Amino acid sequence: MAAMGVLLSSLIRRCWGRQAIPIAIFALLLLYLSARSLRALPGCGSGAQSCTPEGPLLFQVRQESGSLEAPGREEPPCLGPQDLLGRMMGPFRASLNTEGDMELSQYLAGWRELVKFLIPLGSIFAFATSEASTKITALEARVRGPEAAHYTTLAAMVAWERRAGVLERPGSALRGSAPSSGSKTLLLLHRALRWSQLCLHGVATGTAGGPDAGVQCSDAYDTALAPHHPWLVRQAARLAFLAFPGRRRLLEMACPGTTEAEARAALARAVGTLEDVYNRTQGLLAERGLLQLA
C-alpha cells in the first residue's frame, strides 16, 4: 500500500492540468482492477466489506434529498418506453408490483438499464457501473439457474438461502473463491443504488449559484461509497470528479432535445422511482437483519 501511495502522489503532481486527469484516472483504476481480474464473478471476494457503501438507512434519503416531484401533472418528456429514462423506470417500477416484496428479475432488468444510462455520463459512472455489472450477472445466474424457483422475489431468496445454509453471517468474509450468496450480492447492488440516486438527485435539483454537479456527486460518493472503498479507489474517484461533466451537459444526455426545465423534471421523476425501489429494498433487508451482511 505504501508503494501505491508513492505512485498516487507522483501521478497527482504530474496531473494538475485538466487534460492529464483522465490519464491519471485510467492508470489508478487499471492498477486497482488488475488485482481483481482473476477473481470469480460474484461479490467482492475477500474485500467484500470495502467495495460497497453502508450509509445511513435509506428511509432518511427522502428527508435528505427533499421533494422530487415535478410541478404540474403532465408527464415530463423522456419517460416513454423507448426513452433512456423510461426504459430504466419501467422495470424498476414493475419490481414493486408484488406488495410488500420485490421481483428480482424486474429489479435486475432495471439495473441493466440504469447501467446503460449511467455509462455515457462520464468515466466515474463507468467505473462504478463496471462493479455493478459483475454483481448483476452473478445474481442473474441464480435467477435463471437450476434453483430459479427460489429466486423469484427478495423474500423468497432470503428464506431459501437461510434454509439451505448458504447465507453468510453478517460481516463475515468469503473464503477462497467461494461465491457470494444471492442475498449478499443484492445487498451490494442495493448500496450501489444509493450513490446513483443521490448523485442524480443533485443533478436534477441543483440551483444556480449552488454547488455544481461534480461537487454534489462527489459529496454523494463520500456519503455512500467512500467509507467502503480502499484508499486507492477513493483517490482515483476524487480525481475523476475533477473532470465531471457540467450539469447542463448531464441533463442534455439524460433527456436530449428538451429544455433544461423539462430535463430536470424527467430526471427528478426517474430519481423518485429509484428512491421507491431503494426504500422497499431497505425495508425488506432491515426486517430480515441483513443490512450488515457485508
User: pTM (2 decimals)?
Assistant: 0.73
Distances (CA, A) of 28 to 1, 35, 39, 71, 257: 13, 11, 19, 43, 36
Average pLDDT on 258-280 reads 95
Domain range annotation of the chain: 2-287
> What pLDDT is recorded for position 153?
98
Report pLDDT digits (tens) over 43-65.
333 333 333 333 333 333 343 44
| Residue showing cell 461537487 | 215
Q: Which CATH architecture has domain 2-287?
A: Orthogonal Bundle (1.10)
CA angle 156, 158, 163 (to 5 degrees): 95
Say how far residue 140 (Cα) sits from the centre of its chain. Answer: 17
Report pLDDT digits (tens) over 16-48.
333 334 434 433 443 343 333 323 333 333 333
